[in-house]
Structure 1
Amino acid sequence: MQHRNNYTEIEDFLADESFHLWVCFKDDQQDWEEWTLENSNRAKLVEEARLWLLAMKTPDTDLSSEAVQNALEATWMKIETKEENKNAVTQPVLKLWKNQWFRKVAAILVIGLLSGWFYSQHFGTKNSALTYNELINENDEGLVEQTNNSDKPQIITLSDGSSVLLQPNSKLSYPKIFVGNERKVYLSGEGFFEISKNPQKPFFVFANEIVTKVVGTSFKIKAYANQPNIEVVVRTGKVKVRSNQLIANAKDELIVLLPNQALRFVRKNLIFNKITDITQDESLSHSTSTIEQLGFEFTDIPVAQIFKTIEQAYLVKIDFPQEKLKDCYLTTSLGDQPLPEKLKIICKSLGNNSSYEMNGNQIIIISDGCN
């Protein structure tokens, strides 16, 4: 890591893979931000390198060389004028301008600015955020979009009884009622899914560049638009994952995942990396949530303890008549059931007209005691 202390040219930064990850995908495992802020002169050089790297990421167009040259000269005159007005030091800038490599990169930057409309029309589907929006616009089922702008996960119950634990800074679009012979939802961000079993009506999760198909199982998808990878982690059951057909140049392959297996889709190379044992992957091990760790196999366990386990897993609040249920013990298996189904099974086991009500992350158990 210390070798970058010797970086003196923009080319040095552009040749560093970790610098690319930081600038393009906000992956700062090498502490670039902290290192940059240690020195003001260093910060200026890093900022220049960052701008040229972003410029080099713009697509080519069919603009004529004359149009590019005219735009380049006009843009550079504006840059020089702005620098002079700010009393900036122009000599280093002029020195860079005389550098042939620098002029080429600047030309790329101008091409990118001039081709914004062209890029949005012809390359927009490669942008993961746009992919989510396009998928929604193509759907004619009248979708409801749930956005989690809070700092805590939110539980969403779908019309088929499936449940989704939606993480902060995430959004999920789904129909009020599933119609036809398929169930489709759309995710941008992170969610833990528990799907009601229905072999005649498979469930699809469209998460930007990938599509996950299940019949009835529990799994996590992490598909933030500004991160370098998309991850699918299976807790129970089996899922099938393929690339979204809107993504050009992605390999058309189908990956099957079983419990404790995962898949990482690398956006940079558009490739799938299958992980057969998630405990051997440090990144996945550290990101495992509570709901993925807890077990739901109960043998003669106080119902109050079962409710506590559910609260920990789903980050919900359960109110129940503690005095009436204090002597109630249950033996049940709730491993791969969605949250509503778990609650139904518990209430049915308790008997005595037991029922539940859900309002967001608040759950109320109504019961006169156990049988």
Structure 2
Amino acid sequence: MPDGSTIVLHAGSTIDYPTEFTGKTREISLVGEAYFDIKHDPHKPFIIHTGKVKTTVLGTAFNIKAWPNRKNIIVSVTRGKVRVENEKKVLAVLTINQEIKYNLQSATIKQHEVNAEKIVNDWTKQDLNFDACTLESIAQMLSKRFGKDIIITSPNLAKTQIVSSFSGTESLHNILDILCTINANTEFIEKDNKVIISSKN
């Protein structure tokens, strides 16, 4: 993100955000599910819009489920404090290992204690265990997860097979660093919201 925050998108999810946060807040929109690790800035709250519900933080880590055509929006906090509200009122203020389930149809709220790390790990890990996967297939998955175009400059490099695994909450930069370390002849650059992976020679 422009402010250094990290967002991990579930497959099929989308976010809409500006190229730069210039106002008094940092605001984005989410459709689907995502894990957020937000850089602390007490003077510029980070706000996630999911339909009529918004989640506000100063700097923390949490998961939001807000899939289209599903009646519940679910927010689970792994670190820090989060405020969840609709158009009329504050629905809950959550801290670590607390979760709110807000029913959009009945406007009812259920808040309870959870193992938030497990909730996040259940989906963030599932696509990040690579057992002899090609670099091309890994790049396609990472592109969907982080919302960036990833280009591999060489067909032979694209077919390179890699064995590795990740926790699922690393940044794209960290994952690519490790992949390029595993495949020592490889490097990457980030330019204009694109990632270009190439051979060093």
Identify the TM-score tier after normalising by the shorter chain: 0.5 to 0.7
Identical columns (%): 30
Q: What's the counterpart of residue 167 of structure 2?
A: 312
Aligned to 1:278: 114
TM-fit CA distance, 1:178: 0.3
Contact kept, 8 Å, 1:182 with 1:204, in 2: the verdict is yes
Give the whole-Å Cα distance in 1 for the aligned partners of 2:183 and 2:34.
Answer: 35
- Among candidates 201, 211, 219, match of residue 44 of structure 2: 201
| Alignment CA distance shift 1:167-1:363 (3 Å) | farther
CA distance in 2, matches of 1:222, 1:174: 18
Normalising by structure 1, report the TM-score. 0.36
Tell me the amino acid that sits aligned with residue 197 of structure 1: H
Establish whether residue 175 from structure 1 lines up as the match of residue 18 from structure 2: yes
Q: Is the 8 A contact 2:85 2:92 kept in 1?
A: yes
Q: Which residue of 1 aligns with 2:154?
A: none
2:121 equivalent to 1:289: yes
Q: CA RMSD in A?
A: 3.3
Determine the structure 1 residue equivalent to 2:98.
261
Distance 1:322 1:314 in 2: 19
Q: Which whole-Å CA distance do the structure 1 matches of 2:196 and 2:58 have between them?
A: 27
Match of 1:331 in 2: none
Specify the code of the residue in structure 2 equivalent to 1:272: I
SS at match of 1:289: helix
SS in 1 for 2:168: helix
When the two structures are superposed, what TM-score results if normalisation uses the length of structure 2?
A: 0.63
Count matched residues.
151
**Counterparts of 1:321 and 1:292 in 2: how far apart (Å)?**
22
Unpaired runs of at least 5, structure 2: 126-163
SS where residue 167 of structure 2 aligns?
Answer: helix
Provide Cα deviations, 1:215-236, integer angstroms capped at 9, x if missing partner.
Answer: 1111111001211211001111
Instruction: Considering Cα pairs closer than 8 Å and 6+ residues apart, tell me whether 1 or 2 has the greater RCO.
Output: 2
Separation in 2 of the partners of 1:267 and 1:290?
25
Task: Write the distance in 1 (CA, Å) between the matches of 2:95 and 2:124.
Answer: 14
Call closer, same or farther: CA 1:162–1:269 in 2, change over 3 Å.
Answer: same
Q: CA deviation at 1:312?
A: 3.3
- Given that 1:203 and 1:215 are in contact with CA atoms closer than 8 Å, whether structure 2 keeps it comes out as yes
Mapped partners of 1:236, 1:286: distance in 2 = 13
Structure with higher Rg: it is 1
Give, in angstroms, the shift of residue 288 of structure 1: 4.0
- Corresponding residue for 1:185? 28
Structure 1 225/321 Cα, relative in aligned 2: closer, same or farther at 3 Å? closer
Tell me if structure 2 keeps the 8 A contact 1:167–1:189.
Answer: yes
Which residue matches 2:66?
223
Task: Output the amino acid matched with 1:190.
Answer: E
Deviation at 1:163, TM superposition (A): 1.5
Partner of 1:345: none
**Contact 2:91–2:109 (CA under 8 A) maintained in structure 1:** no
Structure 1 residues 323 and 255, CA, compared in 2 at 3 Å: closer, same or farther?
closer
1:201 & 1:363 partners in 2: Cα distance?
32
Offset at 1:183? 0.4
Contact kept in structure 1, 2:2 and 2:19, CA below 8 Å: yes
Q: Secondary structure of the residue that 2:85 maps to in structure 1?
A: strand
CA contact (8 A) 2:78 2:117 kept: no
Cα 1:285–1:160 change in 2 (3 A) is: closer
Cα contact 1:357–1:363 (8 A) shared by 2: yes
Unmatched 5+ residue regions in structure 1? 1-157, 246-250, 294-307, 325-355, 365-371
Task: Work out whether residues 242 and 254 of structure 1, in 8 Å CA contact, stay in contact via their aligned partners in 2.
Answer: yes
Partner AA of 1:184 in structure 2: E
